[in-house]
Amino acid sequence: MFAANYPETPHILHHQMADHAALSLDALAELAGVLPASSIEFNSGDLPIGVDGKPDATGLTIQDTIRHIATSNSWAVLKNIEQSPAYENLLLSLLEELKPQIEAKTGAMLRPQGFIFISSPDAVTPYHFDPEHNILLQLKGSKVMTQFPAGDARFAPDQVHEGYHSGGARELTWDDSFAKGGTEFAISAGQALFVPVMAPHFVRNGPTSSISLSITWRSDWSFEEADARGFNRILRKSGITPTAPSRWPGSNKPKAYAYRALRKFGLVG
């Protein structure tokens, strides 16, 4: 299933991680206590689909937020769990199963990263996109992710992509007219959802608290797409309206290599 759909088509997979001891609430609260503050984000779960900037904190500690997620009306993420050796081993063991299929299509599997999301009932993860290939494993509870076509400028304009790859935010501007262009994917414990690179999406949690694990990676192809966006930003600043990078299996090597050359010689940041 994965091999047939990777890297452009969202699809649902199945996993056996729901009862893993390292992914219980108590274990995750302990992990939050050892991760650096920069790797922890948590705020109110009562958010709209579109947000302007980062939401305010709830006043709870991250440990209390996690242990009482059923009643804290919160959303939390533990970023880069691979900073812990035990969780790095867990992440790499999962990705190793898929590595041959990944590398056969998009080149070397690079920068494996893991993110754990802990959400209260009905919490919302606002509209955004991500630069990684991503599989979201639902461990507890359920959620509905609404995905929009990657690379479609109706849902994320080219200038927003270019700004993101030069240090901008991943949050996107929501318009209610977008709703009819999205596809809903409902997943529950034991299911997983593949999310293509830079596919805009938002998530609504189900009626019970939720734990999800995102296993992510970059690829030769994803870095070429990102660098082509960087080159397009230079062209746009020069008054040229560039053609958007190709989606896979198209190649973005010429623009990517030009941008890397400019960066190597210190001509771009």
Query: Which H or E run includes 62?
Result: helix 62-67
At residue 100, the pLDDT reads 97
pLDDT tens-digit readout, 141-168: 999 999 999 999 999 999 999 999 988 8
How sure is the predictor about 53, in pLDDT bands with cuts at 50, 70 and 90? Answer: low
Could you give the C-alpha distances from 245 to 100, 147, 150, in angstroms and in order? 26, 20, 11
Q: What pLDDT score does 169 carry?
A: 85
Spatial CA neighbour of 231 closest among 255, 249, 213: 255
Q: Which residue has the tokens 């206590």?
A: 33
- Closest listed residue to residue 217, CA positions, set 129, 135, 137, 110: 110
**Contact call for residues 82 and 116 (beta carbons, < 8 A):** no
CATH architecture of 1-219: Sandwich (2.60)
Query: pLDDT category, 58, cuts 50, 70, 90?
Result: low
pLDDT digits (tens, 9 = 90+) for 95-112: 999 999 999 999 999 999
pLDDT of residue 47: 59
Q: State the average pLDDT over residues 222-231.
A: 97
pTM here is 0.92
Secondary structure (3-state) at 261: helix
**Where in the chain are the domains?**
1-219, 223-265
Kindly tell me if the per-residue pLDDT of 113 is higher than 90. yes
Beta strands in 57-209 (DSSP E): 74-79, 109-119, 124-128, 133-140, 142-147, 183-188, 191-195, 201-205
pLDDT (tens digit per residue) in 173-223: 999 999 999 999 999 999 999 999 999 999 999 999 999 999 999 999 999
Instruction: Report d(CA 232, CA 238) in Å as an integer.
Output: 10
Exposed (0-12), middle (13-18) or buried (19+): which is 151, by Cβ within 10 Å?
A: buried
Q: Which tokens in the block code for residue 16? A: 């056996």
- Residue partners of 225: CB distance under 8 A and separation at least 6: 197, 198, 245, 252, 256
For residue 171, the one-letter residue type is E
CB 45 within 8 A of CB 122: yes
Instruction: Report how far apart, in Å, the C-alpha atoms of 265 and of each of 40, 165, 234 are.
Output: 35, 19, 15
Bridge partners, residue 222, by sequence: none
Q: Report pLDDT digits (tens) over 7-20.
A: 999 999 999 999 99
